[in-house]
Structure 1
Amino acid sequence: MAENRPIQLGNARELLDVLIRAGLIAVLVMFCFEIFQPFLSLMLWAVILAITLYPLNQRLAALLGGRPGWSAAFLVLVGLACLIGPLSLLGTSVAESVKLGINTFENQAIEIPPPPANVQDWPLIGAPLFGIWSHASSDLTWALTQVAPHLKGVSKTLLTQMAGVGTGILVFVLALIVGGVIMAKGEIGHRTGVDIATRISGPQRGPQLAALCTATIRAVAQGVVGIAFIQMLLVGIGLVVMGVPAAGVLALMVLLLGITQLPVLLITLPVVIYVFAHDGVGVGTIVFAVWTLLAGLSDNVLKPLLLGRGVAVPMPVVLIGALGGMLTNGIIGLFIGPVLLAVGYELFMSWVKQPLAAEESQR
């Protein structure tokens, strides 16, 4: 018994040492996370951009005589020149639309005019549409009078989202700059990523997981988020130039539809009909209609060019990532969410499909 007591005391002391070390490490990690948390979205989007654009940066660096720093700087400057103007216009439009909506709700100034008499003569839908429209024009003001006092909290939420649009644009610009710095040191970053994956999963699985993460990020960022972002810019520029009400909000809806792989014509076609009904048929409206419809259909051309190969992420995963990212991190989360959730999904499925140690020993 006397011999077992020192052994038990030694085991207890070792266990206490392990718990103290683990506690100190947990405290250190917690403090580091609190310090890094304000920059988390920025760094995540910068890393996603760097991984996505790195193959293009390598090809451009080869043309510049093996200078990845110069090629990264060139890509950042071209990206900023192409994006700052359209993003600023869309951000301003979103802010104005939200302000107008808040003022309208607070002043209870929403009114629906009565329908024209000729609506009744429309085939099939004329009579029911006339009845619904007439009822809405006569009763909606009373309904809003009853509901408006309860919408003050919504107004605050909309103001917060409006501020988040400007912050999201700023984060996008800064992330592009930081992504350029990461691309300039791409080889070091690649080796570091492989080393981290190897440390976590071992020398056999580590490089495979690093390659899987890289392929997933590029596939989703290029083939889903990238195409939707290009469509948003093309459609949004036309909406702003034409002076369509709530152009920025409509552009964000185009982005969401593009990410969820729904047809953008659900937005562009009603807008074109509205512009023709409001401004009449003219050169400007015809050019706008052609531009908007072609921009809405541009994904059919962009997908064969940008869609990643070898990684097929289910669309529900992308949709949940987009909506969840937008709810948690605002506009920038709409870009980060699908990519991160797709990476998590692919890693989880890779772990599920990995053969067990017992199965490997039997082979």
Structure 2
Amino acid sequence: MRNPERGIDFPQIVFTLMLITLLIVACFWVVQPFILGFAWASMVVIATWPLMLKLQSLLWGRRSLAVVAMTLILILLFVIPVALLVNSLIDNSAPVIQWATSGHIQIPRLEWLNEIPMIGEKLYSSYHKLVAGGGGALMTKVQPYIGRTTGFFVAQAGHFGRLMMHLGLMLLFSVLLYWRGEQVGNGIRHFAFRLASRRGDAAVLLAGQAIRAVALGVVVTALVQGVLGGIGLAISGIPYATLLTVLMILFCLVQLGPLPVLVPAIIWLYWSGDTTWGTVLLVWSCVVGTLDNVLRPVLIRMGADLPMILILSGVIGGLFAFGMIGLFIGPVVLAVSYRLVSVWMHEAPAPDEDPEEVVEELAEIEADHEAQQKSAE
């Protein structure tokens, strides 16, 4: 089976590839339970690595003290809040699901439309004609889907044991990566350089920038806005403040901001006659709603600017693919892929020719080819 001209042993190549494939599949099978936790830890460590180095310089250059400090920071600012939010979401979700599926949702009458000058009566009449023409039937059909959608999001958070396991793995891997971060980074860069020379090394560095951009510019901003908005709701006496906080974090992750939750809460306070707390929440909402305009640019400068549609797709797709953890991992996967493809595309210059000229040139080539075929016949 050896090629006499080139000296290639085809069975040896086939069996070698089969053995390598078998080893890769076996390794993936073994580490599969730890992949999400390690990916989560990698994102956290890459995003907070500059902070860890600053702490190390402040703590007399001792890496062990810096690792202990970063571990405490992760527990206090990340692990405990996420665990409490998910636990509260599970405890308080039953009344919401029951209300959403009980059939008590009705189309509002919107009596206040009559008070609008000049066009109010027409708007009110047109609205009720629409409702009478099938709005009630539409709400009856939509009702089950509201309950299913609510139940889906709660079910994702309901895998509390799995989420806590990944949180624990994330914390463990974060400690290990903080302790040996330079060695791990150099090892990854060496492997990438071995695969694709300087281009592979550049790909790893670009991936790190994308991860830092998502972690700092998107996730941290969403957590800060959501938590501050939730504090305002709790102080103002809004019921189910924890559930609304989780909802605000989700809205901030998909770049809708906290106002879709805060504005109805303000209206409800004014409607119930609590104008004092309504005004306080209004002022607080103005601060929280505009915070991302200041915080996100500062954080994104530490990484790489990314399209918002990419972040939106990553958040929603990650939620469906990986559950609650996908809210953080999904945008990172798309961001890294986007950065690598973008750099690969820009290695070649963009076409500067007129599209019409290109089409005409192709048409001429095709016409010449047809003419040659006819002449050959």
TM-score (normalizing by structure 2): 0.77
Segment of structure 1 superposing worse, 155-164 or 265-274: 155-164
Segment of structure 1 superposing worse, 230-239 or 334-343: 230-239
User: Are the aligned partners of 1:111 and 1:140 in contact in 2 as well (CA < 8 Å)?
Assistant: no
Map Cα deviations across residues 306-342 of structure 1 (whole Å, 9 max, x no partner).
2225733222222211221111112221111112211
Change (3 A) 1:339 1:118: closer
Structure 1 gaps, min length 5: 357-363
| Aligned counterparts, 1:158-307, within 5 A | 160-164=155-159, 167-168=162-163, 171-172=166-167, 174-202=169-197, 204-245=198-239, 247-278=241-272, 280-282=274-276, 284-307=277-300
Structure 2 residue matching 1:66: 3-state secondary structure? coil
User: How large is the Cα RMSD of the aligned pairs?
Assistant: 3.7
Question: Match for 1:251: what amino acid?
Answer: T
Say whether 1:103 aligns with 2:98.
yes
Shift of 1:144: 6.4
User: Are the aligned partners of 2:213 and 2:300 in contact in 1 as well (CA < 8 Å)?
Assistant: yes
Shift of 1:69: 2.4
Map Cα deviations across residues 33-82 of structure 1 (whole Å, 9 max, x no partner).
22322222211010010011111101110111111221122122123223
* d(CA) in 1 for partners of 2:112, 2:146: 36
Change (3 A) 1:83 1:205: closer
Segment of structure 1 superposing worse, 267-276 or 66-75: 267-276
Map Cα deviations across residues 258-314 of structure 1 (whole Å, 9 max, x no partner).
3344443343223222233235113x4443333333222211231343222573322
* d(CA) in 1 for partners of 2:118, 2:51: 54
Aligned to 2:323: 330
Say whether 1:313 aligns with 2:313.
no
* d(CA) in 1 for partners of 2:128, 2:78: 41
Change (3 A) 1:61 1:124: farther
Q: Work out the number of aligned pairs and report it.
A: 348
Shift of 1:201: 1.2
* d(CA) in 1 for partners of 2:97, 2:52: 44
Higher relative contact order (CA 8 A, sep 6+): 1
Aligned to 1:361: none
Change (3 A) 1:119 1:93: farther
Aligned to 1:359: none
Segment of structure 1 superposing worse, 144-153 or 82-91: 144-153
Structure 1 residue matching 2:61: 3-state secondary structure? coil
Aligned to 1:121: 115
Question: Match for 1:192: what amino acid?
Answer: G
Shift of 1:221: 1.4
* Structure number with bigger Rg: 2
User: Are the aligned partners of 1:313 and 1:342 in contact in 2 as well (CA < 8 Å)?
Assistant: yes
Change (3 A) 1:152 1:85: closer
Structure 1 residue matching 2:176: 3-state secondary structure? helix
* d(CA) in 2 for partners of 1:124, 1:292: 33
Say whether 1:352 aligns with 2:358.
no
| Aligned counterparts, 1:62-77, within 5 A | 62-77=57-72
Question: Match for 1:56: what amino acid?
Answer: L
* d(CA) in 2 for partners of 1:176, 1:352: 37
Map Cα deviations across residues 97-135 of structure 1 (whole Å, 9 max, x no partner).
5322332355444456766x6663344775435875898
Segment of structure 1 superposing worse, 322-331 or 42-51: 322-331
User: Are the aligned partners of 2:92 and 2:243 in contact in 1 as well (CA < 8 Å)?
Assistant: yes
Structure 2 residue matching 1:298: 3-state secondary structure? helix
Structure 2 gaps, min length 5: 350-377
User: Are the aligned partners of 2:107 and 2:139 in contact in 1 as well (CA < 8 Å)?
Assistant: no
| Match 1:51 to one of 46, 49, 60 | 46
Change (3 A) 1:294 1:170: farther
| Match 2:334 to one of 337, 341, 345 | 341
* d(CA) in 2 for partners of 1:330, 1:68: 34
